Chain A
Amino acid sequence: MPIKVRIPTPLQKLTQNKGEVEASGQTVAQVLASLESQYNGLKTRLYDENGQLRRFINFYVNDEDIRFLQGDQTVVKDGDEISIVPAIAGGS
């Protein structure tokens, strides 16, 4: 069973307007690489030029922020869900 990935509205232009796509891999990084092979251009939106995940995008595996797991090396298994959510830059 593949991994389900939720795509935020501003990136859906790259995923043929799909809000939810499927990909495979053993880690978050592998899933994102597999997504890039399906939807060209996604990777540069998610990673910076140093190969780090962009700071103002939050990635969740089953609702847990991967910054507090193992980052993009977080292991995923079939049936897991990855959510990509832009951080909200509002505030007092």
Chain B
Amino acid sequence: MPDRDILVWSNFLKIKMYSIALKCRECGHEYPKTPIHVCEFCFGPLEVVYDYDLIKKNLTREKIESRGPNMWRYRELLPVDQEPTVGRQVGFTPLRRANRLARTLGVKELYIKNDTVNYPTLSFKDRVVSVALSKARELGFKVVACASTGNLANSVAANAAAGDFESFVFIPYDLEPTKVLGTMIYGTHLVGIHGTYDEVNRLCSEIAGKYRWAFVNINMRPYYAEGSKSMGYEIVEQLGWQVPRHVVVPMASGSLLTKIDKAFSELEKIGLVADNKAKIYGAQATGCAPISTAVKNHWDIFKPVKPNTIAKSLAIGNPADGFYAARTITRTGGWCDDATDEEIIAGIHLLAETEGIFAETAGGVTMAVTKKLIEQGRIPKDESVVLCITGHGLKTQEAIVGHLDKPPIIEPMIGEFEGLIKKIGGKYV
């Protein structure tokens, strides 16, 4: 049925269609809401078009606040037409004021958006996957798939299991064992590929052309990517409907960063916030920093790289949204930097020791880059700063092994303990 007919019918049946079409970000060609992601005319990426006037009429702060604590409290701004069928409990993770970390960094107002505890697979990817799979069901798919650097693999496998889909997951062969295990346990078809993520992605594009599956980050990408906006909406609501002044976001494909910016703009557009002056900062690992390098050199294109970093979840050398991420950072007045492997480990330690949050390597990147940007004076010390921490440290334990002392082991005798306390010394003696 053509989209116009669907609109007529939905008006007749009083079903409100908040997302109305797909549109090419480059040339503006419009397409019906089908599983496609690239413009047939100019090969640009497609994006969901919304009826913001209708959303403005129907969505208020009070309505959002009356709903359950999950990402679907913003459902009018997400591209599903029916009630979501996958990931009903995803999102609304804590936004923590991080006073100890703020004191250490010498800033006044610092917050952690803590997606290390996102449900069910402990990373922000559950947000995008719940949208992609709910949409896949609407479009009639039975099999879902993805190319992944790890977190997406975990999330697709788990949500497919819970949502009664079959799934295929494609990963670089050398991912962290915990991420492999945390995918296989859900009974997915996991395939390791001899190659980098970019090579896995290229292969998956060919597979997606041949098999009629919902590849969440290929043919479902326009819908999937929209799920990331929920992180931005939550930050604003949890700050008492205030847009923060500075937000630091890790970058792999660059999509999350662009969608957090989009979330802030949309809330302004529909009148739920008045004053969006957020500057968005991007964080990459030194061993894979194509977007950061482009921004720092004021290039309007980026040069793909071959990744070499312990932050494997960010190891995308040819980022799909690299161009848009760089443009967003520059437009909002933000900046970029990158972190070496040593700085990533130090960042993980700092966040854990000051705030009790154990982040994966990508979180170490965000922490380390935030510290640099504050030290450089890029982020001022007297304005609100939010760090987006996107995945749990238990998933990348390999990176930390060898960087922590072994705990002392003693006999079960008080004398032994007292000997130990003397060694520790200081205030304990």
Chain A residues engaging chain B, CB cutoff 8 angstroms: 10, 45, 48, 54-57, 67-68, 86-92
A92–B316 CB distance below 8 A: yes
Are A91 and B217 in contact, with the CB atoms below 8 A? yes
Judging by beta carbons under 8 Å apart, are A91 and B316 in contact? yes
Q: Does B37 contact A (CB under 8 A)?
A: yes
* Cβ-defined contact, A86 with B301, below 8 A: no
Which residues of chain B have a CB within 8 Å of any CB of chain A? Answer: 26-27, 37-45, 147-149, 151-152, 197, 201-202, 204-205, 215, 217-218, 221, 252-255, 301, 303, 313, 316, 319-321, 323
In order of increasing CB-CB distance, the 10 nearest A-B pairs are: A91-B320, A91-B253, A86-B43, A56-B43, A89-B45, A90-B218, A56-B44, A90-B201, A92-B252, A54-B42
Residue of B nearest to A56 (CB): B43
What residues on B are CB-neighbors of A67 within 8 Å?
301
What are 14 pairs between A and B in contact, CB < 8 Å?
A10-B40, A54-B26, A54-B42, A56-B44, A86-B38, A86-B43, A89-B221, A90-B201, A91-B254, A91-B255, A91-B316, A92-B151, A92-B255, A92-B313
Shortest Cβ gap from A42 to chain B (Å): 12
Report the nearest A residue to B128, measured CB to CB. A92
Q: Which of B37, B39, B40, B148 contacts A92 (CB 8 A)?
A: B148
Contact B205 A88 (CB under 8 A): yes
Query: Out of A45, A86, A89, A92, which one reaches B152, CB within 8 Å?
Result: A92
Chain A residues lying within 8 Å of B204, measured Cβ to Cβ, are 90
> Cβ of A45: which chain B residues have Cβ within 8 Å of it?
41-42
Bound: A48/B27 CA distance, A: 8
Additional A-B contact list (12), CB under 8 Å, known A90-B205, A91-B321? A10-B40, A45-B41, A45-B42, A56-B44, A68-B303, A86-B38, A90-B217, A90-B320, A91-B255, A91-B320, A92-B197, A92-B252
Question: A54-B26, A55-B323, A56-B26 in contact; A92/B44 too (CB < 8 A)?
Answer: no
Determine the distance from Cα of A91 to Cα of B319 in the docked complex, in whole angstroms.
Answer: 7
Q: Complex formed: what's the CA distance from A92 to B27 in Å?
A: 24
Query: Quick one: which of A45, A67, A86, A92 has the most chain B CB within 10 A?
Result: A92
Contacts of B319 in A (CB 8 A): 91
For the complex, give the distance between the alpha carbons of A86 and B26 in Å: 14
A67: min CB distance to chain B, Å: 5
Question: Which residue from chain B places its CB closest to the CB of A10 in the assembled complex?
Answer: B40
Measured CA separation A10–B36 after assembly (Å): 14
Contacts of A55 in B (CB 8 A): 26, 44, 323
Given A10-B40, A55-B44, A55-B323, residue A92 in contact with residue B149 (CB < 8 A): yes
Contacts of A68 in B (CB 8 A): 303
Query: Which one of A56, A90, A92 contacts B42 once the chains associate, using CB atoms below 8 Å?
Result: A56
> Complex formed: what's the CA distance from A88 to B206 in Å?
10
The distance from the CB of B368 to the nearest CB of chain A, in whole angstroms, is: 20
Q: Which of A45, A55, A68, A90 has the most CB of B within 10 A?
A: A90
Q: Which of chain A's residues has its CB closest to B149's CB?
A: A92
- Chain A, Cβ-Cβ closest to B299: A67
Complex Cα spacing A88 to B322, Å: 12
Establish whether residues B37 and A89, one from each chain, have CB atoms under 8 Å apart when the complex forms.
yes
A47 — nearest CB in chain B belongs to which residue? B42
Q: Chain B residues near A10 (CB, 8 Å)?
A: 40, 43
- Nearest B residue to A46 via CB reads B42
> Closest residue of chain B to A9, judged by CB?
B209
Contact B201 A91 (CB under 8 A): yes
Residues of A within 8 A of B301 (CB): 67
Chain B: CB-nearest residue to A88: B205
Q: State whether A56 touches B45 (Cβ < 8 A).
A: yes
